[in-house]
Structure 1
Amino acid sequence: MDLGPDVPALVQELTRRADPLRLRHDVEHLADRPRSRTRAPEAMLRAEAHVTRELAAAGWLTERQPFDVRWRLGCTDRHGNRALPLKLRLHRRLTGANLLARLPAGDDRPTVVVGAHLDTVDGSPGADDNASGVAALLEIARLLGGLPRPPAVTLMFFDMEELGFIGSRAAARELRRTRQVAGMICLESVGCFLTGPGTQAMPAGFRFAFPGAAAAVRSAGQRGDFTLVVHRRSTQAAAHLWRRAAGAAEPALPAVTVRDPRPDGVLGSLAGLVAPPVNHLGRSDHAAFWNVGIPALMLTGTANFRNRNYHRPTDTPDTLDYERLAAVAVATAATAACWPVGRAG
């Protein structure tokens, strides 16, 4: 797939306007304490207020979308890194809210959803997981809000990702019912970059399940300096577009793409039960969109496979790379604005 004549110029313009110091300010404001609807509700309200304020300053209209769900299978939000079977929980009732933002000049074109979760696990300020994603999303709002022709993009800040994608599951169902969604991009733990050799680990079985991606990581000295782009067939063209946009950004970002072989929809989620390495590809809010048949991709710094501070009190703002985080925002904004509608690959 070719970037097209307009995308390199768009990346150059967005790079000129992106501000790493602004990203750092957002992360520092958000990640000075844990944020959780159930464990730290005041911090969540404070985070919501910051997001709403910054979106308004960038010209976006924000809608708070409450949800109330009962008897939902999810997971625990206790800190640390546990195997999936040890994390499973059945939630009797959860009440929360997502934030949805649109530009005032929005129209009826199919929209591209770009989202990040606002909450953290218990006891972690969550600079990388996931203030980095939220800060990138706010920067995307500023970048896209300044374009001459508003793109068909919807921004979403999800609640209760750490409890099992509760907020994004509610959002995906509602969007499926009310809007035509061209695709979704999920920003998950996108701020940690490590340039030393051997700083990137891989899940058990990854080398056998995804030999091409594993070989790319090994050939680069297993350096944790890339963004992993997880996609399915339905978002293969979008993944390649993001990779090339990231390469045109400043600084240029290496990217490794991994194609999840499962189909979108319920069958795809069930297939993960017989292929454990594949389950790592669905560890964020994009999975909720896959499960209702909406094409989606995830951008991530691979969380615990790179960042030793993952789900710990040490996940603090000083551990992130804001120059590269700005490049993530630029590449994502360009991909959302130029989303390859109707092309699976």
Structure 2
Amino acid sequence: MKLLLWPALLALTLPGSGLAATVEDHAKAVLAFGPRVAGSAANGQARSYLEEQFRALGYQTRREAFSYPRFDDLGSDVRVGEQVLGGNALQDSAGGEVTAPAVRVPGVGTSADFARVDVRGRVAVVQRGQIPFIDKARAALAAGAVGVIIVNNSAGDLRGTLGQALNLPVLGVSTTVGAALKDNQPVTLRVRVRQGEVQAVNLIAFKAGVDRPEVLFGAHLDSVQGAPGANDNLSGSLAVLEIARQAANTSLSARSFFVLFDGEEDGLLGSRAFVKDNPSVTGGLKAMLNLDMVGVNVMPLSISGEAPLVEAARRAGVEASVGTPGSSDQVPFRQAGVPTLFFHRGLDANYHQPGDTLLDSELVRQAATAAFTITNGVLSAVPAN
């Protein structure tokens, strides 16, 4: 597994260990567990590892469990002869295995497009684009298709959601797989899915006695299926650990929570659970700083949020802009009335892909230092609770 790290490695000295662990060390250790899908063994192993690091820095920790239903793809594909071609079940698709001729549907899969071909008892192959997945699938079902394959219209795998349960197996595939599916060629479509309950856990680190923090530093630890999640979002998680290291022997540590959220990739569920379950904490926050994908230099570090925190950042000499872009874990806090800042470097080429194995430790350090500097500026003029 390749890990991109620049020479300026950040040393995290672990009290009592006699060792200096670096961002590189932590990244290698966590990435070795594999993709950190919420509810998976790898997710739990990564949480335990990082919990040890917070404790080594002198913090106490607690875990807050929550659960939610999730649609899981257990391994879906389409087979052409002896060739097995990978794909992804669209969420809300029915499971099932069917063998039938493939029929390529012209256009983008409207009802009018389906009227131009005979898909009765066959597997419809439809191009992505212009209309929602559910409309394509409904048109296929109405026309008598026994399965649907939706072909991506850009590079990479296709993942998506129908938005409504449909009694039809629906598979998303890449353009490469789509090109291998010929008209009237027999195929076997296998969509293997499970609707289950995810047991997820948020990890919270804090100094002894801190139960009403004034600032919360957060990042999501979970990743998506098949993606090791180096940049998305081990980079943000390690930035939160580094902020905790910088704050450990300062007054900031007595005014802060450090939280690694679970379930972000399934809909910001960890941060939503935290806000719901901790109203006394949320109600006392003067700032929530969220770090998501800060380890690859797609663009200079973007810091954005509500005007008061943006002004505090500028006073501290850190460039920031007013705005609330991005669907990440700051959103539930902002909706609860907490001022937020979002730290982000853009979507890199390996976003949600197996190639998400790269992060730059210096970029992680820069993001952490910016967050630390801004927060000191925010709290310096405010008496401690």
Secondary structure of the residue aligned to 2:378 is coil
Higher relative CO (CA 8 A, sep ≥ 6), structure 1 or 2? 1
> Larger % of helix: which?
1
| CA deviation after TM superposition for structure 1 residue 122, in Å | 0.7
Equivalent residue letter for 1:295: P
Match of 1:104 among 172, 197, 208: 208
TM alignment of 1:136-175, pairs within 5 A: 136-147=239-250, 150-175=253-278
In the superposition, the TM-score normalised over structure 2's length comes to: 0.58
Tell me the secondary structure at the aligned position of residue 205 of structure 2: strand
Aligned to 2:54: 55
2:353 aligned residue: 312
Is it true that 1:283 corresponds to 2:344 in the alignment?
no
1:134 aligns with 2:223: no
Distance 1:81 1:300, change over 3 A: farther
Partner of 1:31: 31
Q: Is the 8 A contact 1:18 1:326 kept in 2?
A: no
Q: Does 1:184 align with 2:293?
A: no
Cα deviation, 1:24-53, whole Å, max 9, x if unaligned, reads: 222222223100124xx1101101111110
Within 5 Å, which residues of 2 pair with 1:249-288? 255=319, 257-260=321-324, 281-288=325-332
Partner AA of 1:296 in structure 2: T
Q: Counterpart of 1:11?
A: none
State the Cα distance separating 1:336 from its structure 2 match: 2.6
SS in 1 for 2:294: coil
How many Å separate the matches in 2 of 1:330 and 1:153? 15
Q: What is the CA–CA distance in structure 1 between the aligned matches of 2:330 and 2:227, rounded to whole Å?
A: 22
Distance 1:286 1:123 in 2: 25
Give how far 1:87 is off: 7.9
- Which structure has the bigger radius of gyration? 2
What's the CA shift string for 1:260-305, capped at 9, x where partnerless? 3xxxxxxxxxxxxxxxxxxxx13110011112221111100112xx
* 1:240 maps to 2:275: no
Deviation at 1:340, TM superposition (A): 4.9
Higher strand share: 2
| Structure 2 match to 1:321 | 360
Shift of 1:60: 0.6
What is the CA–CA distance in structure 2 between the aligned matches of 1:95 and 1:287, rounded to whole Å?
22
Provide closer, same or farther for how the CA distance between residues 87 and 111 of structure 1 changes in structure 2, counting only shifts above 3 A: farther
Between the aligned partners of 2:381 and 2:67, the Cα distance in structure 1 is: 34
Matched residue count: 255
Partners of 1:114 and 1:154 within 8 A in 2: yes
Q: Is the 8 A contact 2:11 2:23 kept in 1?
A: no
- Structure 2 runs not aligned, ≥5 long: 1-8, 14-19, 72-89, 92-155, 166-194
What does 1:41-120 correspond to in 2, within 5 Å? Answer: 41-69=40-68, 86=161, 93-106=197-210, 108=212, 110-120=213-223
Partners of 2:12 and 2:21 within 8 A in 1: no
What do the CA deviations read for 1:106-161 (whole angstroms, capped 9, x no partner)? 365x5201000010011000100000011111111111112266441101000010
Q: CA RMSD in A?
A: 3.3
Instruction: State the distance in 2 between where 1:334 and 1:62 align.
Output: 24
The answer on whether the counterparts of 2:59 and 2:205 sit within 8 Å (CA) in structure 1 is yes
Checking the alignment, whether the CA contact within 8 Å between 1:61 and 1:102 is kept in structure 2 is yes
**Residue identity (%):** 27
* Runs (5+) with no aligned partner, structure 1: 1-14, 195-223, 246-254, 261-280
Q: For 1:137, give the aligned amino acid.
A: V
Between the aligned partners of 2:227 and 2:204, the Cα distance in structure 1 is 25
1:87, 1:130 → 2: CA distance? 26
Further displaced range: 117-126 or 134-143:
134-143
